[in-house]
Amino acid sequence: MKETIRIGCGAGFSGDRLEPAVILAQQGQLDYLVLECLAERTIALAQKRKRQDPALGYDPLLERRIESLLPHLLDKRVRLITNMGAANPLAAAEKICAIARQMKLSVTVAAVTGDDVFDQLSGDEPALETGKPLKESGSLVSANAYLGTDAILPALATDAHIILTGRVADPSLFVSPLVHAFDWSLNDANQIGQGTVIGHLLECAGQLTGGYFADPGRKDIPDMAHLGHPFADVSKDGIAVFSKVAGTGGLLNVATAKEQLLYEVMDPSHYLTPDVVADFTQVRLEEVGLNQVKATGGKGQTRPDTLKVSVGYEAGFVGEGEISYAGSNALGRAQLAGAIIEKRLRDRFTDLRIDYIGSTSVHRTAFGHYPEPYEIRLRVAGRAATAKEAALVGEEVEALYTNGPAGGGGARKYVHEVVGIVSTLIDRAKITSNVTVLNA
Amino acid sequence: MKTKLYDLAHSRAGDKGNTLTLSLIPYRPEDYPILCAKVTAEAVKQHLQAIVAGDITRYELPNLPALQFVCQQALTGGVTTSLMMDTHGKSLSYALLEMEIDT
């Protein structure tokens, strides 16, 4: 058994850059590479793609990521763990085998399934957000339970080069190789709590190495155009030192690590995953070298008996329209345009929003600061049951060209379908996960 | 003297459904006590009244040191159904940093 293993994170969301993962696989001397590509919203969208074509429903960038990574993974003996299976891990595994055959490479892929619990829900279960039955939100399109480390371990026990999952808790993608490599007990809540701290720090990739952090003049980050993604060297007792590949851009220090540690955390003493109720309050972060941060002190309590289920429902369509005003009294003219739209559409949309981009569109207020901007973009958004009704928003905004205030230009209109997300809980005893191994 | 939080601390926003999380991390650890004293859940609720409709809970992490604010009903429905420009509320860390405190 190795004393230390190195786990890298090469993607923190579905649309993340491709090259940091390649650099990690090629130069990172990794044991494991993790790509976290599945958000709450992306799995519901993936389920819709799968319904349209049963061979789809995996991550839209899977082919490009695998094509660029596969030779390096095999050459450097790095095992890949990723949730790019999304709504269809089996189809994703078949796709990877097809890519390998085309590249004349030999690969073993393990697909973890069992997170899709759509057939196990009646729709009468209460939504955590509202307390009302799930089906009252709208027509349900998907339900995926967050699987944990126990579901991924059997896949790691095979000789698979690539482990593909659907919905699993993000930190479990990192806890599972630690448990596998060091034979940690899943019942050791403190050990798994520390593993979860490691996973949570790594899971957003570039957000640990200075991405989403920079504020010029105050929080400067070098060479962001070549931002490198992080890896952690983890010892058998769970002590982790985070770093990045030498020569890549970015910065990894206690400040970047603190922001990431608290990112999306509700109660820091009760961070819930399928593996553990982790406690982040005793975590110690220490700079031990340039771009090197040591993390210790993660704790935990016994894992919950229920798993969270992310449920997607049809939430209608959003129509948007935009038009710009610039020069003297730009805001005044944009506000007149907004008032016209408000009068014409208010009765037809229960959910309508009018924003003045350049003034109050992002924070809904300017906290008392109202400098006269040179240009303002009016943005109107409305939600409707059908695409046709939603399109009305953009049509009315476009009509401002000849029916609105002076000097409006650059109108654009969009309509998109919306999948809403609610959550519920399911007894973990009702979930059976499976591993399917494919070879090419 | 009034000081903007922007001058004392940095912050990152996160989202879980309709709930917004905001960290507040002092640049200098010695400023942590004043942040604890002045940036109460009530004061933040007052400051973010245009944004946060629900309750705000504050968690203290003296070890780091840092504060964490959990703001309910802050994302007009949350990432997929919200009509906001910033559906995740990712930009709202800088709304918190606009707050001024007496120092």
Q: What is the pLDDT of residues A183-195, one digit of tens each?
A: 999 999 999 999 9
What's the pLDDT score for residue B49? 96
- How far apart CA A86 and CA A59 sit, in angstroms, is 6
Asked if residues A295 and A284 have their Cβ atoms less than 8 Å apart, the reply is yes
Query: Residue A322 has what pLDDT?
Result: 98
Would the pLDDT of B27 be above 80?
yes
Q: Kindly report, residue by residue over A113-133, the tens digit of the pLDDT.
A: 999 999 999 999 999 988 999
Whether A268 sits inside 8 A of B19 (CB atoms) is no
Per-residue pLDDT band for A365 (boundaries 50, 70, 90) equals confident
Tell me the pLDDT tens digit for each residue of A309-320.
999 999 999 999
Percent of chain A with pLDDT over 90: 91
**Do the chains contact at A418 and B91, CB–CB below 8 Å?**
no
pLDDT tens-digit profile of A263-285?
999 999 999 999 999 999 999 99
Examine the pLDDT at A29 and tell me if it is beyond 90. yes
**Is residue A397 over pLDDT 90?**
yes
Q: What is the pLDDT of residue B79?
A: 65
Question: What is the band of B77 on the pLDDT scale with cuts at 50, 70, 90?
Answer: confident
Q: How far apart are the C-alpha atoms of A378 and A55, rounded to whole Å? A: 41
Q: What is the mean pLDDT of residues B77-99?
A: 89
Q: Residue B88: is its pLDDT beyond 80?
A: yes
Query: What pLDDT is attached to residue A73?
Result: 98
pLDDT at residue B64 tops 90: yes
- What's the confidence (pLDDT) of residue A41? 76
A263 to B14: CB separation less than 8 angstroms, yes or no:
yes
Whole-number pLDDT of residue B90 = 92
- pLDDT at A414 (0 to 100): 96
**Cβ-based contacts of B23 with chain A (< 8 Å):** 258-259, 262-263
Phi and psi at A378, nearest 5°, equal -80, 135
d(CA A296, CA A7): 16
Is A1's pLDDT higher than 80? no
Task: Say whether pLDDT at A364 is over 90.
Answer: no
What is the per-residue pLDDT for A246? 97
Cα separations in angstroms, A355 against A11, A289, A426, B51, B79:
33, 46, 40, 14, 17
Report pLDDT for B41: 98
Answer yes or no: is pLDDT of A407 > 70. yes
| Predicted-complex ipTM score | 0.95
Asked if the Cβ–Cβ distance from B25 to A255 is below 8 Å, we say: yes
List of domains in chain B: 2-102 (3.30.70)
Domain ranges of chain A: 4-120+144-310+429-439, 311-423
Cis omega (within 30 of 0) for bond into B65: yes
Q: Nearest by CB to A262, from B68, B78, B80: name it.
A: B68
pLDDT of A359: 87
Q: In the structure, what pLDDT confidence band is assigned to residue A352 with cuts at 50, 70 and 90?
A: very high
Task: Please say if the pLDDT value at position A43 is more than 90.
Answer: no
**Residue in B with minimal Cα distance to A352:** B83
pLDDT tens column, A125-169:
999 988 999 999 999 999 999 999 999 999 999 999 999 999 999
What is the chain B residue with the closest CA to A378? B85
CB A312 within 8 A of CB A386: no
Q: Label residue A16 by pLDDT band (50, 70, 90).
A: very high
Q: What is the CATH number of domain A311-423?
A: 3.30.70
Does position A306 have pLDDT exceeding 80, yes or no? yes
Beta strands A79-82 and A292-296, pairing class: unpaired
Q: Contacts of residue B63 in chain A, CB cutoff 8 Å?
A: 281-284, 297
pLDDT tens digits along A178-223 = 999 999 999 999 999 999 999 999 999 999 999 999 999 999 999 9
Q: For an interface test with A, which of B60, B61, B92 has the most A Cβ atoms less than 10 Å from its Cβ?
A: B61
Split at pLDDT 50, 70, 90, the class of A47 is confident
Average pLDDT, rounded, for chain A? 96
* B85/A355 Cβ within 8 A: yes
Looking at CA atoms only, how far is residue A83 from chain B in angstroms? 19
What pLDDT score was predicted for residue A55?
A: 94
Distance CA A199, CA A231 (A): 10
* Interchain contact, A262 vs B61, CB within 8 Å: yes
